[in-house]
Amino acid sequence: MVEQKLFAEAEDRMKKAYDHLKKDFASIRTGRASPSLLDRIHVEAYGSQMAVNQVGSVTAPEPRMLAITVYDKSVLGPLEKAIQKSDLGINPSIDGLTIRLALPPLTEDRRKDLVKQVKKRTEEGKVALRNIRRDIIEEIKKQKDHGASEDEIKRAEQQIQKLTDKHIGEFDHALVVKEKEILEV
């Protein structure tokens, strides 16, 4: 049945939106060093923009320290500049082929700013979910032209709404968990 195909498409797109949110949350600093903090940073290397993990290996040798060991010394300067320009607020220090990033403790103001960022990204994710719902419902309504009854259309719309509500609940739960993680001292 066509509505099952649409329902599966909606489920898949909503899961992808949730995965994107989780990946986004992983790149937000919480006081502990995590290599995923550098996922959003790109460096000009070899004539193109490259992710940090493509120009060096990223490790967290200490709870508040990240170390990037570059594969090629020529990317040290551009990588240092890319980190300085980022929104991380960290000054890199170079030691041979390694760039060390000491993460300072988060201030109360910075924690509140991070919570605002997390809430904003969660809301953006919910908007994406609602857009997916709207697209799928439009497709369901087109089924009326292909012989679907009003009851079938209503039932399919209710199914999509339940799916949307379920995923919005997952987004809200992820927000609560990340907020708690940020605000823990």
For residue 167, the model assigns a pLDDT of: 96
> Quick one: pLDDT at residue 140?
84
Which structure tokens are listed for 165?
């509500």
Output the average pLDDT for the chain: 87
Residue at a domain's end among 77, 102, 127 = 102
CA pair distance 86, 48, nearest whole angstrom: 18
Contact 62, 31 (CB under 8 A): no
Residues 113 and 71 occupy one common structural domain: no
DSSP designation for 148 = -
Can you give the residue range of the structural domain that contains 49? 35-102
Model confidence at 181: pLDDT above 60: yes
Average pLDDT over residues 107-136: 91
- At 184, the pLDDT band (50, 70, 90 cuts) reads confident
Query: How many distinct structural domains can be found in the chain?
Result: 2
Res 74 pLDDT > 70: yes
* SS3 label, residue 20: helix
Angle 27-30-35 from CA coordinates, rounded to 5°? 45
- In this structure, the answer to whether residues 17 and 82 fall within a common structural domain is no
Which CATH number do you get for residue 11?
1.10.132.20
**3-class DSSP state for residue 64?**
coil
pLDDT in the model for residue 182: 84
> Residues 128-141: what's their mean pLDDT?
91
Classify residue 115 by burial, with Cβ atoms within 10 Å: 0-12, 13-18, 19+. Answer: middle
CATH number of the domain that residue 75 is part of: 3.30.1360.40
CB count in 10 Å sphere of residue 174 = 19
**Same domain? 95 vs 39:** yes
Q: What percentage of the chain has pLDDT greater than the value 90? A: 32
Expressed in angstroms, the distance from the first to the final Cα of the chain is: 52
AA letter at 132: I
125, 100, 142, 128: which is closest to 178 by C-alpha? 125
Confidence of residue 96 (pLDDT cuts 50, 70, 90): confident
Query: pLDDT-derived band of residue 149, with 50, 70 and 90 as boundaries?
Result: confident
- Is the pLDDT confidence value at 97 over 90? no
Which of 102, 126, 148 marks a domain boundary? 102
Q: What is the pLDDT of residue 36?
A: 79
One domain for residues 173 and 158: yes
Residue 105's pLDDT is: 80
Split at pLDDT 50, 70, 90, the class of 185 is low
In 48-149, where does DSSP find H-type helix?
52-55, 76-85, 108-142
Bridge partners, residue 102, by sequence: 65
Instruction: Dump pLDDT digits (tens) for 5-61.
Output: 888 999 999 999 999 999 888 777 676 777 878 888 888 888 889 888 889 898 888
- Considering the domain architecture, whether residues 42 and 131 belong to the same structural domain is answered as no
